Structure 1
């Protein structure tokens, strides 16, 4: 059962990532905390998609703008470093409640805000995005949606957006993973789970790339968001 709760969510996460461009860790964090402590679940979820992020970052490297990514990464990483340590001392019940609220908020946000990815955000909203995303990334590995919106609002083309957002996620993933290793959250006994999850995630992403031309993304996305909301209700009440 443990292996199924690693492999199947990672496979599903790869499919979601391939269809929507984000959300892999959100899907994994629906299932992983049922078999692992919250901090380790977040650590595994954060590292499983690294191979896909590396491949995408290399593919779009010519459109990557370090001056745009670096300031956001500094703010984001500073907050995430603090919240990683916070996650080690917070009560598990409190963490589950926070995760539930976050998932429900994400569900409502994406269902209600139809044009969220086409807005240009002022600097203070952008900084708030970085702080909120860094905080929840450190706790749960879920920091992608708001940062994706931030980079999308600044990009003039899809290659530029993908280059910056995947480069950001890659640097963030490597940094936060190293923090979790040094902090004793990610340990050697978790390596088999990580490798199995990486393989499943890559397979899911490959399958999604083949099927995406047949699916209507506008129809699929609302159901993904509703599923995230149901998961949030589960963590709030069970």
Structure 2
């Protein structure tokens, strides 16, 4: 029963973060899931946990979708993601936890600075898009955390909030189908893992509903900083426990 409590709390927080910031559910889930499952299974469960929410958003904003903006970044992203997934089994769990810890710390620092400085990026060159796609794909294959840089990319190139959400959620949906199929076919995920997914979906939906009700009454900037710091502390925990 303890795993149910941990997973519901983690997924609830993930859904809440996603509802407030527009991304980050994978980061939050990977704070909790490695205490229940191996890293590569955690990544798969994390991705599937937000599937229903992703489908709902992609369908809601489908009329604002611009498919041509997805083709090149997704092609680069998915090739790297598949490659990193295939090599993840050859890496020791401690090495994966070190990488996860470093990634969480870097993301925490990056978004804390961006939020503190109120930085607005107005354009992303092609080469930077390639770098974003490669980095995102690599860490998505390992940990199911591929969203932050791609969110920044689509936020920059999109013409409206609706266009941003349509492009990003469709991107994530395609990624979920490809990577989940590969994880099941390669034996990383099994039917036994679906119990974690189902419980996670319940928590994620509760978190999303809570975010929708409370977001208008919260100081979003302060809350984001707390979330980013929490992610950073979690990264330090994984790093220290892997050394």
TM range (shorter): over 0.9
Q: Among 212, 231, 235, which residue is 2:234 paired with?
A: 231
Q: Which residue of 1 aligns with 2:3?
A: 2
Aligned runs of 1:182-201 on 2, under 5 Å?
A: 182-201=185-204
Aligned runs of 1:40-79 on 2, under 5 Å?
A: 40-79=41-80
| 2-structure distance, mates of 1:116, 1:78 | 31
Question: Does the 8 Å contact 1:117/1:152 carry over to 2?
Answer: no
Shift of 1:208: 0.7
Provide the secondary structure at the position in 2 that maps to 1:185: coil
Q: Deviations over 1:10-68 (max 9, x none)?
A: 11101111111000010010011111110001110011001000000000000001100
| 1-structure distance, mates of 2:71, 2:136 | 15
TM-score (norm: length of structure 2) = 0.96
Aligned runs of 1:107-126 on 2, under 5 Å?
A: 107-113=108-114, 114-126=117-129
| 1-structure distance, mates of 2:78, 2:192 | 26
Question: Does the 8 Å contact 1:60/1:162 carry over to 2?
Answer: yes
Shift of 1:116: 5.0
Shift of 1:119: 3.0
Runs of 4+ in 1 over 6 A off after TM superposition: none
Shift of 1:87: 1.2
Provide the secondary structure at the position in 2 that maps to 1:89: coil
Shift of 1:147: 0.1
Shift of 1:149: 0.3
| 1-structure distance, mates of 2:15, 2:4 | 16
| 2-structure distance, mates of 1:111, 1:203 | 26
Q: Which residue of 2 aligns with 1:32?
A: 33
Provide the secondary structure at the position in 2 that maps to 1:36: coil
| 1-structure distance, mates of 2:130, 2:120 | 17
Provide the secondary structure at the position in 2 that maps to 1:65: coil
Q: Among 129, 148, 173, which residue is 1:170 paired with?
A: 173
Counting matched residue pairs gives 238
Shift of 1:118: 2.9
5+ residue gaps, structure 1, are none
Shift of 1:164: 0.5
Question: Does the 8 Å contact 1:19/1:208 carry over to 2?
Answer: yes
Q: Deviations over 1:48-98 (max 9, x none)?
A: 001000000000000001100121111100000011111111000000000
5+ residue gaps, structure 2, are none
CA-based RMSD: 1.0
Q: Which residue of 2 aligns with 1:104?
A: 105
